[in-house]
């Protein structure tokens, strides 16, 4: 006959099992069981393909939590499908300005609501970001951005506070690309290509025509003739300049005495004309003739002065 089990032994066994369970939780769970977590809900308009339960929740690249739930929710009119995403944030990952972890375990529900409203007013927003382009996995990024308006759905999911979402960076890039492609698609590309092909065809025909070939030959001959002429000028021009300079000097040497003599003769003629004018004041016709002679002598004197300054003008004409 078996011995009856003592109640004291059963109690000791249960207490020992509970102690082992607590020790296991502390050892392998790192104390997670006793930590107070924050749970928020976010509604994303874009596709959640690539976002999985357990995906990281980060603040500017630092992980502060995980994605706990991803659900589908219909509105009251059964016409619109919503996608609530529950995120779990560990407040101990945030350190206060005093250096200690933020503890919300002792806060009342009303105080928690006040703190959450302060975060929203400060610009707390949630956005889907890509973990890896190769895998396509997503994560939830929390950041403060007051430039993005707080758009709340007004829905309720398990009574959790709602964090406003903003369009993902990927969606913004895709929207920009779609807009660019739409504008490119509206361009008359076919007409431009046809016009360009016609222009290239005309250019090809013009370049290959007999007239173009003859023009090229004529241009080549003209360039050869011009090059030959320049070569000849390069050889003869120094001798021509030397000969011309000697000629100008010789003309200057022989012309200057003649010009001086003519200048003296004109001066004597001017004096004589003055004397004649005194005698012929009574005769108006003779006086007019004498005046004409004086004017002619003056013009001739100016010409001689110019020739004295520039005797080479006899060969090259009046200088500018």
pLDDT digits (tens, 9 = 90+) for 144-179: 887 777 788 888 888 899 999 888 766 666 666 677
The answer to the question of residue 21 being in a domain is: no
Q: What is the pLDDT of residues 55-88, one digit of tens each?
A: 999 988 889 999 999 998 887 777 788 899 999 9
Residues 217 and 111 in one domain: no
The answer to the question of residue 205 being in a domain is: no
The answer to the question of residue 160 being in a domain is: yes
Q: Which residue has the higher pLDDT, 93 or 170?
A: 93
pLDDT of the residue at 201: 78
Residues 152 and 218 in one domain: no
The answer, yes or no, to whether residue 53 has pLDDT greater than 80, is yes
The answer to the question of residue 117 being in a domain is: yes
pLDDT of the residue at 14: 60
pLDDT of the residue at 30: 45
> Which whole number is the average pLDDT over 4-32?
57
The answer, yes or no, to whether residue 276 has pLDDT greater than 90, is no
Instruction: Indicate left, alpha or beta for 68 from its phi (over 0: left) and psi (-120 to 50: alpha).
Output: alpha
**Closest by CA position to 290, among listed 272, 277, 299:** 277
Determine whether 165 is exposed, middle or buried from the number of CB atoms within 10 Å of its CB (0-12, 13-18, 19+).
buried
pTM listed for this prediction: 0.45
pLDDT of the residue at 84: 93
The three-class DSSP label of residue 95 is strand
Contact at 8 Å (CB) between 31 and 76?
no
Tell me the residue ranges of DSSP E strands in the chain.
38-43, 56-59, 62-70, 73-74, 81-82, 84-89, 124-130, 138-144
Residues 73 and 149 in one domain: yes
pLDDT of the residue at 32: 47
**Closest by CA position to 306, among listed 315, 293, 318:** 318
Model confidence at 300, pLDDT cuts 50, 70, 90, reads low
The answer, yes or no, to whether residue 217 has pLDDT greater than 70, is yes
The answer, yes or no, to whether residue 21 has pLDDT greater than 70, is no
The answer to the question of residue 47 being in a domain is: yes
> Which whole number is the average pLDDT over 298-304?
64
The answer to the question of residue 271 being in a domain is: yes
What rounded mean pLDDT belongs to the chain? 73
Residues 133 and 233 in one domain: no
Beta-carbon count within 10 A of 140 CB: 25
Token code pair at residue 235: 């050889």
Contact at 8 Å (CB) between 64 and 58?
yes
Residues 261 and 309 in one domain: yes
Domain count, the chain: 2
pLDDT of the residue at 233: 72
Q: Which domain holds residue 255?
A: 210-316
Chain-centre distance for alpha carbon 47: 33
Beta-carbon count within 10 A of 264 CB: 10
Model confidence at 202, pLDDT cuts 50, 70, 90, reads confident
The answer to the question of residue 157 being in a domain is: yes
**Domain end marker among 178, 197, 228:** 178
Tokens 């002679």 sit at which residue?
Answer: 293
**Closest by CA position to 85, among listed 124, 130, 52, 118:** 52
Q: Given the DSSP bridges, would you call strands 84-89 and 62-70 parallel, antiparallel or unpaired?
A: antiparallel
> Which whole number is the average pLDDT over 247-270?
64
In degrees, rounded to 5, the angle at the alpha carbon of residue 138 between the alpha carbons of residues 132 and 68 is 140
**Closest by CA position to 71, among listed 166, 157, 162, 167:** 157
> Which whole number is the average pLDDT over 119-125?
83
**Domain end marker among 154, 178, 202:** 178
> Which whole number is the average pLDDT over 245-250?
70
pLDDT of the residue at 29: 46
């Amino acid at each position: 006959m078996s011995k009856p089990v003592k109640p004291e032994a059963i109690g000791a066994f249960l207490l020992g099992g509970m102690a082992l369970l607590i020790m296991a939780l502390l050892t392998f769970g790192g104390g997670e069981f006793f930590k107070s977590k924050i749970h928020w809900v976010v509604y994303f308009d874009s596709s959640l393909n690539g976002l999985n339960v357990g995906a990281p929740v980060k603040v500017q690249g630092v992980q502060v939590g995980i994605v706990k739930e991803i659900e589908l929710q219909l509105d009251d009119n059964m016409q619109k499908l919503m996608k609530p995403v529950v995120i779990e944030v560990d407040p101990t990952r945030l350190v206060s300005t005093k250096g200690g972890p933020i503890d919300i375990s002792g806060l009342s529900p009303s105080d928690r609501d006040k703190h959450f409203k302060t975060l929203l007013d400060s610009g707390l927003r949630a956005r889907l970001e890509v973990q890896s382009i190769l895998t396509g996995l997503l994560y939830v990024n929390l950041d403060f951005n007051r430039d993005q308006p707080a758009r709340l759905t007004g829905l309720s999911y398990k009574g959790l506070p709602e964090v406003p979402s903003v369009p993902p960076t990927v969606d913004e890039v895709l929207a920009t690309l779609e807009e660019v492609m739409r504008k490119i698609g509206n361009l008359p590309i076919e007409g431009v290509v046809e016009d360009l092909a016609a222009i290239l065809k005309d250019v090809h025909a013009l370049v290959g025509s007999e007239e173009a070939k003859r023009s090229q030959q004529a241009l080549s001959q003209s360039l050869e003739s011009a090059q030959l002429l320049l070569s000849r000028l390069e050889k003869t021009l120094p001798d021509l300049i030397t000969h011309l300079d000697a000629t100008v000097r010789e003309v200057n040497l022989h012309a200057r005495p003649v010009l001086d003599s003519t200048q003296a003769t004109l001066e004597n003629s001017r004096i004589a004309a003055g004397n004649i004018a005194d005698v012929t004041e009574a005769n108006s016709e003779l006086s007019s003739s004498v005046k004409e002679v004086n004017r002619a002598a003056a013009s001739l004197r100016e010409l001689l002065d110019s020739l004295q300054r520039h005797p080479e003008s006899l060969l090259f004409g009046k200088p500018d």
